[in-house]
């Protein structure tokens, strides 16, 4: 073997530089073909890692259905023109962040152990058709990507059974935060979402006064009703709130129609650097201590609690030393 290798090495040394380059190229090409061959792609690697839905590609998902007998209505989430909608709620905009997190959780599902193969034991783990939560996932061509039942929860996970099989698996991570949501829970209740770098002026109006903040260079100043440098921590806290101002729920249609937004008790006005205006109006509180909220860009009326009002309009922007 050694003599053969020495002959090959001697022959290789006598070759012209061009032949040497060609041989190295061919060897590298063969290596790439062998290593990166069909069947060694990411989906196969996912299968070998015992993923519960090995062929799930998040970008390909077009529709999700979640059916649970404990919920009044099944949840149908559908992607329309790149945006997620709650299809069985008059196509309300869906909370895209929540949908993405749900898909990521399903994508990460791993089979930790097989706990049963007996069809008669499915009810014990609540993965039968009567007790389980039925989840179906389709792609754009309406081909099923996943069809399974989720049952009893366990630490960091749950029991799961594929719809056409009797095998019950213990899987992680948990899907529970998404399964307890009803139809309304999936609707987008975002009143406002802005990033500080895109904002140049904010007006906060409460029943007592109207306060305006403006960006001056790299700093924020209160310019109305007085002029002083805004306390940085208060500004940071404000923008943490404005990153996603979300209502608690949709208001009752009858009560919401009685809200007086012409004389709003609280008004949040945000002027962006492109000179566009974002506005949220709050009216209340009502007898239940809730405020009605409206974004003029939307036809919906929402309900928000006192803490949200306090977190936005209750901030103190004057430093203690300046008071």
Instruction: Give the percent of the chain with pLDDT over 90.
Output: 65
Dist. CA 129–CA 149, nearest whole Å: 7
Task: Find out if CATH 1.10.3470 is the number for domain 190-322.
Answer: no
CA angle (244 as vertex; 240, 248 as ends), nearest 5? 120
Dist. CA 106–CA 61, nearest whole Å: 11
Q: List, in sequence order, every beta strand (DSSP E) within 11-126.
A: 61-67, 75-80, 83-86, 92-93, 110-116
Contact status, residue 168 vs residue 121, Cβ threshold 8 Å:
yes
pLDDT score for 251: 87
pLDDT score for 306: 94
Local confidence band at 257 (pLDDT 50, 70, 90 cut-offs): confident
**Residue 32: pLDDT over 70:** no
**Residue 46: pLDDT over 70:** no
Domain with CATH 2.60.40 in the chain: 190-322
pLDDT score for 21: 52
**Residue 138: pLDDT over 50:** yes
Query: Cβ contacts of residue 243 below 8 Å, gap of 6+?
Result: 193, 194, 195
Segment 54-65, tens digit of pLDDT? 989 999 999 999
Segment 148-184, tens digit of pLDDT? 999 999 999 999 999 999 999 999 999 999 999 989 8
Segment 292-320, tens digit of pLDDT? 999 988 888 999 999 999 999 999 998 76
pLDDT score for 259: 86
pLDDT score for 121: 96
Tokens standing for 310?
């306090």
**Residue 140: pLDDT over 90:** no
Tokens standing for 284?
């209340």
State the chain's maximal CA–CA distance in angstroms: 97
Dist. CA 98–CA 179, nearest whole Å: 12
Local confidence band at 14 (pLDDT 50, 70, 90 cut-offs): low
Local confidence band at 53 (pLDDT 50, 70, 90 cut-offs): very high
**Residue 75: pLDDT over 90:** yes
pLDDT score for 89: 64
pLDDT score for 35: 43
């Amino acid at each position: 073997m050694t003599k053969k290798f020495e002959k090959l090495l001697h022959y290789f040394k006598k070759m012209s530089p061009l032949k040497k380059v060609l041989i190295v190229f061919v060897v590298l090409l063969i290596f790439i073909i062998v290593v990166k061959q069909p069947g060694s792609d990411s989906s196969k690697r996912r299968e070998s890692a015992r993923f519960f839905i090995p062929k799930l590609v998040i970008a390909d998902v077009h529709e999700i259905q979640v059916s649970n007998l404990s919920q009044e209505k099944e949840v149908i989430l559908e992607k329309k023109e790149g945006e997620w909608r709650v299809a069985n709620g008059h196509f309300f905009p869906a909370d895209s962040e929540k949908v993405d997190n749900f898909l990521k959780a399903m994508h990460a599902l791993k089979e930790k152990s097989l706990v049963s193969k007996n069809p008669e034991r499915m009810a014990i783990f609540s993965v039968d058709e009567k007790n389980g939560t039925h989840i179906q996932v389709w792609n754009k061509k309406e081909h099923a990507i996943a069809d399974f039942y989720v049952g009893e929860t366990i630490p960091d996970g749950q029991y799961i059974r594929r719809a056409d099989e009797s095998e019950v698996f213990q899987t992680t991570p948990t899907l529970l935060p998404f399964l307890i949501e009803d139809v309304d829970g999936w609707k987008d209740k975002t009143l406002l979402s802005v990033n500080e770098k895109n904002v140049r002026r904010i007006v906060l109006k409460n029943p007592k006064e109207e306060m305006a903040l403006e960006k001056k260079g790299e700093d924020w100043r209160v310019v109305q009703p007085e002029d002083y440098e805004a306390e940085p921590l208060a500004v940071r806290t404000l923008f943490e709130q404005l990153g996603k101002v979300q209502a608690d729920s949709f208001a009752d249609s009858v009560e919401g129609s009685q809200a007086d937004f012409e004389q709003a008790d609280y008004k949040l006005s945000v002027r962006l650097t492109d000179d566009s205006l974002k506005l949220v109006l709050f009216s209340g509180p009502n007898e239940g201590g809730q405020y009605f909220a409206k974004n003029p860009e939307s036809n919906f009326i929402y309900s928000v609690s006192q803490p949200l009002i306090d977190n936005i309009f209750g901030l103190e922007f004057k430093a203690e030393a300046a008071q």
